[in-house]
């Protein structure tokens, strides 16, 4: 290993140092626990993701005292969302409420770094360049620690009361533990995205035509993240034309004005995601827990993964602090109560089997689903906030009604 854990025993070892893992570690460290976080990727590196945060995600960052770092990195405030259904536009202003007066879409290079720095400042030990390669168990099968390794693959076992898998969609922790998949979605959408200058966006823009969608998201460095989505079947059928060509062709169909601006610029790096069906895994067992995409993945088409991960990090931290089986069961039921309806409506959107009229009704359903999920946040108290960064009372009083 290039860097070694300082101790041979921790209260909690977390695999994965991005939105789910760094947040969980930060919250646990703030409650006085000895926490180690490992991740094979470098601090501040990018990952496959666009970055639109919803109100719940911004609220969590504000409550935790992390939003200032996101703002200080020049992340533009988003005060309006516009849904374009063909030629019809529906504008939704972001109402100042619950301490949130704007949404943000920080690059992951900004957000993940800010969360890691907050975790470190709270007392967690975060080591990049190390992976969890397996869990260590006792004779009864209970997880008692993590087996870690750096690039040289020489393993080292670190004892822990709890091992948290926050290692994303293809979680090695979930695989090693054998965490059961309890729900599987039916559809997966493919996404291709890049970053462009000169789009001067008035907030988030979501665009839909039958069979296709696009999102235009203002982000750092005066760039817009522009993504297009389609069914995985169409993606596979048309990919032979080339990723760039497919991106430009679809953008021309679904967001022609943006396509005209993009066409005047030098080509940028384009990233593609072929799609993955949503799932819910059992999120805890003896000595282990899963958080973020490792335990719950929903198609990115409804842009909720980060917001959900930030919520679930706090639900899990509460369970770990409680420490009893019923606390972990409460984590599971709160996560599932929020996740299941969102997974269902997201799956219907990801099917691309809709008319624009049906899609509008799905978006209304999504809004109601977000309202229900938000009620979970109303039960969170301010233990997450460091005293010196405590959010104003109205930020903690999260009786919110999400519209976006």
Ligand X SMILES: Cc1cc2nc3c(=O)[nH]c(=O)nc-3n(C[C@H](O)[C@H](O)[C@H](O)COP(=O)(O)OP(=O)(O)OC[C@H]3O[C@@H](n4cnc5c(N)ncnc54)[C@H](O)[C@@H]3O)c2cc1C
Q: Which stretch binds ligand X (CB under 6 A): 16-24, 69-77, 253-261, 392-400?
A: 16-24
Does residue 15 interact with ligand X by CB under 6 A?
A: yes
Distances (CA, A) of 219 to 103, 106, 150, 224, 260: 11, 6, 33, 6, 20
Q: Which stretch binds ligand X (CB under 6 A): 5-13, 289-297, 336-344, 358-366?
A: 289-297
Q: Which stretch binds ligand X (CB under 6 A): 39-47, 151-159, 277-285, 319-327?
A: 39-47
Q: How far is the CB of 38 from ligand X (least distance, A)?
A: 5
Among 24, 60, 131, 259, binds ligand X (CB under 6 A): 131
Cβ–Cβ under 8 Å, residues 105 and 53: yes
Does residue 213 interact with ligand X by CB under 6 A?
A: no
Does residue 48 interact with ligand X by CB under 6 A?
A: yes
Does residue 128 interact with ligand X by CB under 6 A?
A: no
Does residue 39 interact with ligand X by CB under 6 A?
A: yes
Q: Which tokens sit at 265?
A: 């610029």
Q: For residue 17, report the phi and psi dihedrals to the nearest 5 degrees.
A: -120, 50
Can you tell me the distance from the alpha carbon of 356 to that of 235, in angstroms, rounded to the nearest whole number? 20
Can you tell me the distance from the alpha carbon of 138 to that of 69, in angstroms, rounded to the nearest whole number? 41
Name 136's Cβ contacts closer than 8 Å, sequence gap at least 6. 143, 144, 145, 146, 147, 157, 159
Q: Which stretch binds ligand X (CB under 6 A): 48-56, 63-71, 334-342, 396-404?
A: 48-56
Q: Which stretch binds ligand X (CB under 6 A): 13-21, 69-77, 340-348, 358-366?
A: 13-21
Q: How far is the CB of 388 from ligand X (least distance, A)?
A: 26
Q: For residue 142, report the phi and psi dihedrals to the nearest 5 degrees.
A: -65, 140
Distances (CA, A) of 276 to 87, 125, 190, 312: 30, 32, 8, 21
Burial of residue 404 (CB within 10 Å: 0-12, 13-18, 19+) is buried
Q: How far is the CB of 40 from ligand X (least distance, A)?
A: 5
Among 52, 103, 162, 374, binds ligand X (CB under 6 A): 52
Rounded to the nearest 10 degrees, how much is the dihedral formed by the CA atoms of 179, 183, 184, 187? Answer: -150
Report the residue closest to ligand X, judged by CB. 305
308-347 binders of ligand X (CB under 6 A): 309
Q: Which stretch binds ligand X (CB under 6 A): 66-74, 230-238, 301-309, 345-353?
A: 301-309
Can you tell me the distance from the alpha carbon of 64 to that of 201, in angstroms, rounded to the nearest whole number? 28
Q: How far is the CB of 223 from ligand X (least distance, A)?
A: 14
Per-residue contact flags (x/-) with ligand X for residues 150 to 169, judged by CB under 6 A = ----------------xxxx
Q: How far is the CB of 278 from ligand X (least distance, A)?
A: 11
- Residue 213 has a CB neighbour count (10 Å cut-off) of 23
Does residue 300 interact with ligand X by CB under 6 A?
A: yes
Can you tell me the distance from the alpha carbon of 106 to that of 50, in angstroms, rounded to the nearest whole number? 9
Can you tell me the distance from the alpha carbon of 53 to that of 203, in angstroms, rounded to the nearest whole number? 12
Can you tell me the distance from the alpha carbon of 277 to that of 369, in angstroms, rounded to the nearest whole number? 20
Q: How far is the CB of 194 from ligand X (least distance, A)?
A: 12
Closest to ligand X by CB, 131 vs 205, is 131
172-201 binders of ligand X (CB under 6 A): 172, 191
Residues found near ligand X in the complex (CB under 6 A) = 15-16, 18-21, 38-41, 47-52, 131-132, 166-169, 172, 191, 273, 292-294, 300, 303-307, 309
């Amino acid at each position: 290993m290039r860097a070694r854990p300082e101790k041979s025993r921790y209260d909690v070892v977390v695999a994965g140092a991005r939105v789910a893992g760094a947040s969980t570690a930060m919250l646990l460290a703030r409650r006085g626990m000895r926490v180690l976080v490992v991740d094979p990727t470098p601090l501040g590196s990018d990952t496959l993701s666009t970055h639109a945060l919803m109100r719940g995600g911004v609220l969590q960052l504000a409550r935790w005292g992390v939003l200032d770092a996101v703002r200080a990195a020049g992340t533009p405030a988003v005060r309006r969302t516009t849904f374009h259904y063909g030629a019809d536009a529906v504008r939704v202003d972001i109402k100042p409420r619950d301490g949130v007066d704007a949404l943000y879409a920080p690059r992951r290079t900004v957000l993940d770094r800010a969360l890691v720095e907050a975790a470190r400042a709270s007392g967690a030990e975060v080591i990049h360049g190390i992976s969890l390669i397996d869990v260590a168990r006792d004779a009864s099968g209970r997880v008692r620690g993590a087996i870690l390794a750096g690039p040289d693959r020489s393993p080292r076992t670190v004892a822990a009361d709890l091992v948290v898998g926050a290692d994303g969609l293809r979680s090695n922790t979930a695989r090693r533990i054998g965490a059961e998949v309890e729900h599987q979605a039916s559809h997966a959408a493919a996404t291709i995205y890049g970053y462009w200058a000169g789009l001067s966006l008035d907030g988030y823009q979501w665009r839909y035509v039958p069979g296709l969608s696009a999102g235009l998201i203002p982000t750092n460095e005066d760039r817009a993240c522009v993504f297009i989505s389609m069914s995985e079947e169409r993606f596979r059928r048309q990919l032979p034309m080339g990723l760039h060509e497919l991106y430009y062709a679809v953008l021309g169909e679904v967001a022609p004005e943006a396509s005209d601006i993009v066409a005047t610029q030098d080509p940028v790096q384009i990233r593609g995601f072929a799609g993955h069906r949503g799932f819910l895994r059992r999120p805890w067992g003896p000595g282990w827990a899963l958080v973020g995409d490792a335990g719950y993945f929903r198609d990115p088409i409804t842009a909720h993964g980060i917001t959900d991960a930030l919520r679930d990090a706090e639900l899990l931290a509460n369970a770990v602090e409680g420490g009893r089986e019923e606390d972990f069961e409460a984590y599971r039921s709160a996560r599932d109560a929020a996740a299941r309806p969102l997974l269902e409506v997201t799956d219907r959107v990801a099917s691309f089997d809709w008319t624009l009229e049906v899609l509008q009704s799905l978006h209304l359903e999504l809004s109601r689903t977000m309202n229900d999920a938000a009620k979970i946040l109303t039960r969170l108290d301010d233990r997450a906030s460091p005293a010196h960064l405590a959010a104003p009372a109205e930020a903690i009083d999260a009786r919110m009604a999400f519209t976006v």
